[in-house]
Amino acid sequence: MRLHTLTAEAFGPFATAATVDFDELSDAGLFLLSGATGAGKTSVLDAVCFALYGDVPGDRSAAKRLRCDQAAPGAVPRVQLEATLSGRRFRFVRSPAWDRPKKRGSGTTTEPAKVTVSELVDGAWQPLSSRLDEAGDLVGRVVGLTMNQFTQVAMLPQGRFQAFLRARSDERHKLLQQLFRTGRFEAVERWLVERRQRLSRDDARHHERVADVVSRATEAAAVALPDGIDLHALQLAADDGVLRSWLEQTQAASVRARSAADATLLEVTAREGAALTALEQTRSEAARRRRLDTARHELADLRSRAAAHDDDTRRLDAARRAAGVLPWARLAEAADLRAEAATTRAVAAARALHQHRPDVEESVDLEALAADCAEAAATARALRPRAERLVVVDEEVGALRRRVHRLTAQLDELRRVHAQRPAEIDELRALVLEVRAEAATVDGLTAQAQDLRNRLDAHEEATVLAAQREEARERWLTSREVSLARKDALLTVQLARVDGMAAELAGALVVGGGCCPVCGSAEHPSLAHPAPGAPDATTEREARKQLADAEVVEHALDQQVRDLDQNLAAATARAGEGDPAELVARLAARQAALSQSWRAAGRLPDLEARLDAQVAELDQLGTRVAGLTADAAAADTAHQRATTEAEALRAELAALGAADLTALDAIAAAHRRTTELCADALRYRDDAVEAGWSAEQAHRALDDAATEAGFAGPGPVREAALEPDAVARLAESVARHQQRLAAVTEVLREAGPSDDEPVGDLDATLAAHEAAHQAAVTASRRAASDVAVHAARSTRLAGLLVELDEALAAWAPLRRDLALVTRLSSFVEGRSADNLLRMRLSAFVLAYRLGQVVGAANERLARMSDQRYSLEHTGKRGAGETRGGLSLLVRDDWSGESRDPATLSGGETFVVSLALALGLADVIAHEAGGASLDTLFVDEGFGSLDADTLDDVMDTLDALRDGGRVVGVVSHVAEMRDRIPTQLVVTKSRQGSFVALRR
């Protein structure tokens, strides 16, 4: 990422457009961003971050106040940034949300945030997006860093890294997690906790299930649980088998009780059987006589329905023969549908081939055409590496051409500079003398400008005070009129009250209860009545209160007028004589002269350095001219060789009719498509022929099956066919008729010849046998009831035993899983005794990243601390910490001891923090895929360093410029202005801040 230009308008402290040309700063490689406190140095970095990500870093983002207060009311806050990201040049134009004045009426309305992203393509800006979400996605892709990562990599905040250096492990954990996106490991921790909670709930549910089985077993067996088994804590009893052993013994006792009841039941059942045999013999004789009568009537009814039965039998036979032919009919219909579908596909395939190749006739040999197209496609594929080589060679030709032009231009420029340098050195010497003279006038012009500014401020203050005094005097006069009016109102109320005092006294008298305060009489024959609207004591008190309020206001306004008169007199005295317009003109002239003197003073060190450098460089220009001449000749030779190779490759492609790789791919794709369509047409044509032959065979098989079934053709088969339900009903009716006839015939056969004599009187005998049988049944039922009770109890307990086995079998692995997950979750959360460092899984991962950061930081810390200090990452817990893994120590190689970073001095803390910040920047850039950051900013903190340490730090920062990187140092330390000649100065004023480049 390389920044080119930045423009901020009505943004932060910049009321008007402030432009920073980073390309001009890039020539120096290292520049200083300086200015007074509050001028807006950090706002320049905020503008860069806002242009890219639509937000500013740190606590300033929460304020939601990005528009400049000194900007004109209708000025739109806007930031424009041009930057090269991933080899592409973009322009970002963003405006934050702000409250603009309404176009009609008073008040403001909220203007939403806006963004426009453009890309420079072939010398012209092409719009890419105006949506906030799309712009954010684009920046994320081309930069490869989130906003947090960008602010930690491209804008190193020293204050925050001093806090990070001395932070606790949990505080480092939060920051590193945001930077390295290790949320998936915390997701593992949460999953284990949720898994443990879910298994705990499942364990409670299984425990409840086992407890329910045990409770039902005690109810079924009518016994209590033995000592040692607690229904609310069955885990131990389930593990050692006590629970199952108890239920097994209870079920065995129930089985023994059932065996005794079975023996009793056998005895009473034998007696019941004997009584039942005698009863059944008597009932059998009576029933035989009744069945004989019923069978005779049934036989007569069946003989009357013989004709209908014969018709149903014939219909059933025809339907069953037709059912054997119907599958052949369905096969024939399906074959017809397949033949029709195959024909349709064949026609569609032929049509698709004709649409792709209109030049192909219907009579063409598809197999030959497919073979020709396949061969042509293979030829095109064989030439593809040559076409790819042509693309590479064309890029080489372009690159070499640009290199030749660049070297030629550089050579011409060097020759021109070499010729002009002596004259420029003379001019520069004269300019240095002139600038020194201008710089000497800075102090005098500054004092004059300050005096004029103070007088102008006094004039402005006097004007404001005069207006305020006139306004206050008007308010005082108005308050005086109010006071006089309220005095008159009080007097009027008092006079009216005196006039109506008789009525007021009469209203206070009580009949028969008091004497008149005027005459002393207890009789009041004619009381006075108040007039309508007459005032009373309350009215007078309210009038007095209003008068007192008015007098207080009058006194306060009078005092305000007096104070304003005094302030106006003092401001007029400070302003002195002279017209303000004249003072403004004189101040502008002094400021212009002072600005020129300041520019001269700022330019002087650079001019002197340039003079020395130009004198030293004059001898080097000749050597550089010779070297560039040789480079240009070599580049021209390589360009001619690459051009010859490109022409030969184009000739090979032209033989096949292709101009480039895209055209070659299109030719190959067209031939492959023709081959595929020919194959489809051949396949579908063969399928249609085969489907037609299958349909013909199916119809022949249908005719043969109908003839074999006794039908004249398929038509009578469909007429005789019945639905399966109808066939079943008809078969059931025929079978039922035959079964009834056979049953009646069998009954009459078994009865034998009948003499038709009446049945004898068997009622008395039948009643006696029924009484004896009933008594035996009662005894049997009682015995059977006992057997059923014991059998049900035994069966119930056996089932509960099986259910208990199932519940225990289902519960056992769950208990094992719960124990395992509980141990693993405690270990991953750092709460287990096995986790000696009390380190979470996510902290373990971040500890590896922190180790990488420490390794990268130590490479620079060794240089900046004269090989004295190095950082150490330790997994041990720090003082007052409950978890470890992310602690840092500083090793002092002079003493050989490691100590807490809090023991470092201010300067040492800054050096270690800077090394840590740079190390983290390197690791994050590598983590983000090696993001290229050609522009880097290092924030405040250099004022705490001594001269030697500052030299080491500056050497480290200077090393960051390797590879063309531009490093901006943010500082207001005076010594930094002497060390870094190229400066971007931010100046604050009442009209807003301004930026200027100083060399």
**513 pLDDT band (50/70/90 cuts)?**
very low
What are the tens digits of pLDDT across the range 836-879?
Answer: 767 777 777 777 877 888 887 788 778 777 788 888 877 666 55
CB proximity list for 163: less than 8 A, separation 6 or greater: none
Residue 112 in this model has a pLDDT that exceeds 80:
yes
Residue 326 in this model has a pLDDT that exceeds 80:
no
Q: Residue 144 CB: number of other CB atoms within 10 A?
A: 21
Q: List the structure tokens of 3.
A: 């920044």
Q: Residue 420 CB: number of other CB atoms within 10 A?
A: 11
CB 987 within 8 A of CB 993: yes
**118 pLDDT band (50/70/90 cuts)?**
very high
Residue 125 in this model has a pLDDT that exceeds 80:
yes
Q: List the structure tokens of 347.
A: 């026609």
Work out the average pLDDT over 5-19: 90
**How far from chain centre, in Å, is Cα 254?**
65
**893 pLDDT band (50/70/90 cuts)?**
confident
Q: Distance (Å, rounded) from C-alpha 347 to C-alpha 341?
A: 10
Whole-number pLDDT of residue 162: 65
Tell the residue number behind the tokens 């890039």, with chain if given.
Answer: 26
Q: Percentage of residues in the chain with pLDDT exceeding 70?
A: 78
**914 pLDDT band (50/70/90 cuts)?**
confident
Q: Which of 926, 987, 940, 949 is nearest to 968 (CA)?
A: 940
| Amino acid at residue number 216 | R
Work out the average pLDDT over 602-610: 75
Residue 940 in this model has a pLDDT that exceeds 60:
no
Work out the average pLDDT over 240-267: 77
Work out the average pLDDT over 184-210: 82
Relative to beta strand 108-111, strand 98-101 is antiparallel
Whole-number pLDDT of residue 92: 94
Residue 694 in this model has a pLDDT that exceeds 70:
yes
Residues in the chain: 999
Q: Distance (Å, rounded) from C-alpha 619 to C-alpha 604?
A: 24
What are the tens digits of pLDDT across the range 730-756?
Answer: 777 777 777 777 777 777 777 665 544
Whole-number pLDDT of residue 78: 92
Q: Residue 339 CB: number of other CB atoms within 10 A?
A: 21
Work out the average pLDDT over 493-511: 69
| Amino acid at residue number 535 | P
**507 pLDDT band (50/70/90 cuts)?**
low
Q: Distance (Å, rounded) from C-alpha 20 to C-alpha 773?
A: 121
Residue 465 in this model has a pLDDT that exceeds 80:
yes
Whole-number pLDDT of residue 212: 85
The mean predicted confidence, pLDDT, of the chain is 76
Among 31-35, 231-235, 603-607, top mean pLDDT goes to: 31-35
Whole-number pLDDT of residue 484: 87
CA-CA-CA-CA torsion sign (420, 426, 430, 435)? positive
Relative to beta strand 966-970, strand 30-35 is parallel
Whole-number pLDDT of residue 511: 46
Phi, psi of 988 (to 5 degrees): -105, 150
Phi, psi of 935 (to 5 degrees): -125, 125
Q: Distance (Å, rounded) from C-alpha 172 to C-alpha 874?
A: 13
Residue 130 in this model has a pLDDT that exceeds 80:
yes
What are the tens digits of pLDDT across the range 702-739?
Answer: 777 777 777 776 677 766 777 777 777 777 777 777 77
**How far from chain centre, in Å, is Cα 312?**
77
Q: Which of 999, 717, 788 is nearest to 257 (CA)?
A: 788
DSSP 8-state symbol, 10: S
Whole-number pLDDT of residue 62: 60
For residue 532, CA distances in Å to 289, 496, 536 come to: 127, 12, 12
Relative to beta strand 30-35, strand 983-987 is parallel
SS3 of the chain: helix, strand, coil, percent, to 5: 70, 10, 20
Among 31-35, 158-162, 363-367, top mean pLDDT goes to: 31-35
Residue 810 in this model has a pLDDT that exceeds 70:
yes
Q: What angle do CA 783, 789, 794 make, to 5 degrees?
A: 125
Work out the average pLDDT over 369-383: 70
Residue 90 in this model has a pLDDT that exceeds 90:
yes
Residue 658 in this model has a pLDDT that exceeds 70:
no
Q: Percentage of residues in the chain with pLDDT exceeding 90?
A: 2
Among 10-24, 652-666, 956-970, top mean pLDDT goes to: 10-24
Q: Residue 845 CB: number of other CB atoms within 10 A?
A: 19
Whole-number pLDDT of residue 82: 93
pTM: predicted TM-score of the whole model, two decimal places: 0.40
Q: Residue 690 CB: number of other CB atoms within 10 A?
A: 13
| Amino acid at residue number 850 | L
